[in-house]
Structure 1
């Protein structure tokens, strides 16, 4: 495998530094064995979705000519989802090369371009968790279950029960890693932190409005939204 270009390493170094200094809600990143081309990603399930409270780990691998070619993402945590293959590989338009492929049903503008970065990729992945693309699924069975759940307005609980069980299973890994997974919007959304060296400067007015969320969302973080449904669904992956 060809060594990464100096341009790729420089780009990845800057992106990592940016994410460490200004974290984004919903995920955390770190290097695997100090390798700039291999990142471990921890994705938190968004509140008010089936994935609320989930802790999903994945690995991102970057090509030697990044950002001109897209990285790949493979989930290390078991994820039952229409756009995740059995081996954990994620299928999402933003990570597909920008070629004209009419058979895919994707427009070139939906695919990878060098203006994308780790932030935009992972925010797209978080969005995909709650809103799968079922038109060209990687996991057909999950796609069928998801459609059944949506069209029955939640009455068919097989899909929901599988996700709920997988979310519960991730809590062990979160505890092992010493991570407290946010389960409310207030905890999920990160407020911009003023750097210590700037603390002597009165910049309160500038930062106060950054990433604010409404305080009137009185949400429970004890999972009461997901009542004890019949867990007899046999689609456990």
Structure 2
């Protein structure tokens, strides 16, 4: 039962993320062999000030059968050079850690909960690519380079970016900052439309209930009339 519920939710999240109008422009997702629990993703860094700007980074999300009660796992394929990425490509980020784990020493509001979504995970990963967390590094050497040898760090990242761009599908156009602004505007309009329909639906229901309350039936009189 848990697997069926998890699959149903994941298909919905996949469709939302892949929506050409309101989905995530900086993310490309493919389901591996029709297995909804295994996503191949490409993350695009659009922030001009980020060291990984222009990158097309591939990774894989694996979901447990009891999703969303347990978080997915994520790793970059191939691994990348980043303070928060282990040498095998696994990512160290709070949102992928289960809450209530004393060993993590992380606030519960930053760790995984069923209220989180695939979208929030992907956006958190992109945010970490743009702004590494060197206070909790998975790759200590990369964290030291980021903090003390920025030019050397940037040169190495530029190699990573160039390597990643070789994976951009033929004919694919990388999104830019304007695309993201339009994406946000479309999402806000969609949310406004949903709110409008929801508000009007409940207002119509209230009006209907009020109309019913206004109707009074005098059963005794009706009975007398029918006797005549």
TM value normalised by structure 1: 0.72
Distance 1:60 1:177, change over 3 A: farther
1:132 counterpart residue number:
132
1:75 counterpart residue number:
76
**Contact 1:43 1:55 (C-alpha < 8 Å) held by counterparts:** yes
2:58 counterpart residue number:
57
**Contact 2:44 2:57 (C-alpha < 8 Å) held by counterparts:** yes
1:112 counterpart residue number:
112
Distance 1:186 1:98, change over 3 A: same
- By percentage of residues, which structure has more helix? 2
Is 1:38 equivalent to 2:27 in the alignment?
no
CA distance in 2, matches of 1:51, 1:188: 17
The total of aligned residue pairs comes to 187
Is 1:185 equivalent to 2:186 in the alignment?
no
- How far did residue 181 of structure 1 move? 2.1
2:161 counterpart residue number:
167
- How far did residue 193 of structure 1 move? 9.8
CA distance in 1, matches of 2:108, 2:184: 34
Q: CA RMSD in A?
A: 2.4
CA distance in 1, matches of 2:4, 2:182: 32
- How far did residue 169 of structure 1 move? 1.1
What are the ranges of 5 or more consecutive residues in structure 2 without an aligned counterpart? Answer: 194-228
Specify the structure having the higher radius of gyration (Cα).
Answer: 2
CA distance in 2, matches of 1:132, 1:90: 11
CA distance in 1, matches of 2:184, 2:96: 28
SS in 1 for 2:57: strand
1:95 counterpart residue number:
96
Deviation sequence 1:24-49 (CA, Å, 0-9, x none): 13212120111000001110012311
**Contact 2:25 2:179 (C-alpha < 8 Å) held by counterparts:** no
